[in-house]
Chains A and B, each alone.
Chain A
Amino acid sequence: MAAFFPKFYFDAFSFREAAATSLESALREIPRMATRQTQFLARSLLTPAVGLLFIWMIVPLALTIYFSTLHYSLLDPGSESFVGLENFRYFLTDPAFLASLQNTLVLVGSVLALTILLGIPLALLMDQPVVGRNFVRLMVIAPFFVMPTVSALVWKNLLMHPVSGLFAWLAKLVGLMPVDWFNDVPLFSVILIVAWQWLPFATLILLTALQSLDEEQKEAAEMDGASAISTFIYITLPHLARPITVVILIETIFLLTVFAEIFVTTGGGPGLQTTNIAFLIYSQALIQFDVGSASAGGLVAVVIANIVAFFLVRIVGRNLEA
């Protein structure tokens, strides 16, 4: 209705003037009232969500900042004192921080590489005329719905156990030495498990994007004598650029805070070999009860995540306008 009264819709003054004089404008008041009512309603409907999210974002973050400036140990209550940036100095110069930062980067980078490099050919394959494609889709997507604690424990025991695991049996079958996964290559083992969980996500998004690719464009390229490889490089790959970016950014957000998989398999070990930043902060907070240092670490994690988020929000925002 608003479209019929564009001026009244936005301009309060002209409305007041007009409404005072004629019957005609009095009749127009009905839709306008509805509009004002609607706007008020709209705002009050939005408030609870905005308010809750605002509190959820501000209060814990403010507390984290506050705690990060305190010497504060749960083992020694009542001894809290202001120490300025001491916790940050401690956290950032702790050898465990550098090790965990490195582990985090290796974990995120490897899982991204694995899921995208395997996801692209898999999505291309599933985009072909496949008999029973829907069933194949079900099998491929399934790992994504398995809770992290289940997938980690099933992989660790049933598949990766150095003696009785399926991988050990397969290795012996072809005459290789079985790998003691969680002792010899602990971080790689975690990477494999996490990559298995996220491969379906990457594949599904890339497949969705492929299916929206214009068939005619590909056919035209084929008619012009383009080989399958150059069709892929010049048509398919550019089309996939955006979904790949989206996959990278969203996976990064989740992968930066991988926790359960490490918690149930290695507990961060052996040594610090599978401790990522999330796990380091957890162990400082809830195992060593060092609130101050864990809070400083938490802020470092927030900063890292925000750098990624900055780019994601821009990409999604551009999409909102389109």
Chain B
Amino acid sequence: MARKSTTQRVVISTIGAWFFGFLIFFPILWMVLASFKTELEAFAIPPSFLFFHWTTENYATVQERSDYFHHAMNSIIIAGGSTLIALLIAVPAAWSMAFSPTKRTKDILLWMLSTKMMPPVGVLVPIYLIYKTFGLLDSRIGLVFILCLGNLPIVIWMLFTYFKEIPRDILEAARMDGATIGRELIYVLTPMAIPGLASTMLLNLILAWNEAFWTLNLSTSEAAPLTVFIASYSSPEGLFWAKLSAASTLAIAPILVLGWFSQKQLVRGLTFGAVK
């Protein structure tokens, strides 16, 4: 009797979970399907779900007409650059707060968190004017800089919570054995910190790749990453759904893959360690 009800429960919850999961995922699937249709079929009523004339010509057109790779390159440079610089600044800071905490460490951490609370729109005007003055509008370096600063608190926080979990006894043992700080860092700390570093890097890459406030406001063409490139599809009305879908699929595919790898760390990173 008990066994039967358990099987029943598994069947029901499996069907339910798959149904709702599919429902949530459907818009993405629908977009990917549309990217393989002709413009006419993408627009057609009734819509065809699988039995249409599959074509890859949209992907070729997107590159030809609008120089997709230029914008993809911008996204890679901006997201990658801002992540690397943020890590360079954050690793020493998080390391020092995790292993040589002082009375003020907690206050510093909370203060850093509070800088993330500042709505970007609150400082849009001065940033825009500063960028205009120094010729940083529509420049990759300007976007790298602002995204790096914007994500720095999250990066420091994530690294801090990971470093905190490295047992201090191991460091003390190494020190007893006569390891210098440099050796300690290279041979003891780094191997233990790599998983945390990797997931922090992934989460930051995702956030920077998808950032759409500063990129929309501070870049137009030359430095425009994919967020801005896709936004340019909002103006021309007409039969461009298949191309929009192809460009969108290309824009989200790499980050979707990275995101799926880092989903467990996502919770931790975005809640500042409040939920693990």
Given A150-B251, A208-B275, A125 contacting B16 (CB threshold 8 A): yes
Are B119's CB and A320's CB within 8 A? no
Q: Does B61 contact A (CB under 8 A)?
A: no
Q: Does B18 contact A (CB under 8 A)?
A: yes
Are B10's CB and A130's CB within 8 A? yes
User: Which of B46, B128, B153, B251 has the most chain A CB atoms closer than 10 A to its own CB?
Assistant: B128
From the candidates A45, A166, A209, name the one contacting B47 in the complex (CB within 8 A).
A166
From the candidates A34, A50, A291, name the one contacting B175 in the complex (CB within 8 A).
A34
Q: Does B50 contact A (CB under 8 A)?
A: no
Q: How large is the interface on B (under 10, 10 to 19, 20 to 34, 35 or more residues)?
A: 35 or more
Are A147's CB and B210's CB within 8 A? yes
Interface residues of A in 208-247 (CB under 8 A from B): 208-209, 212, 242-243, 246
Query: Roughly how many angstroms separate A277 CA and B34 CA in the complex, as a whole number?
Result: 34
Q: Nearest Cβ distance between residue A276 and chain B, in whole angstroms?
A: 10
Interface residues of A in 37-61 (CB under 8 A from B): 37-39, 41-43, 45-46, 48-50, 52-53, 56-57, 59-61
Q: Which of these binds chain A: B51-59, B62-70, B188-196, B264-272?
A: B264-272
Interface string of B136-170 (1 = CB under 8 A from A): 00000000000001001100100000000000000
**Residues of B close to A64: CB separation below 8 A:** 122-123, 125-126
What is the total number of residues of chain A having a CB less than 8 Å from a CB of chain B?
Answer: 109
Interface string of B193-228 (1 = CB under 8 A from A): 000000000000010011011001100000000111
Chain A residues within CB distance 8 Å of chain B? 1, 3, 34, 37-39, 41-43, 45-46, 48-50, 52-53, 56-57, 59-61, 63-64, 67, 122, 125-126, 128-133, 135-151, 153-159, 163-164, 166, 168-169, 196, 199-201, 204-205, 208-209, 212, 242-243, 246, 250, 253, 256-257, 259-260, 263-265, 277-278, 281-282, 285-286, 291, 294-295, 298-299, 301-302, 304-306, 308-309, 312-313, 315-317, 319-321
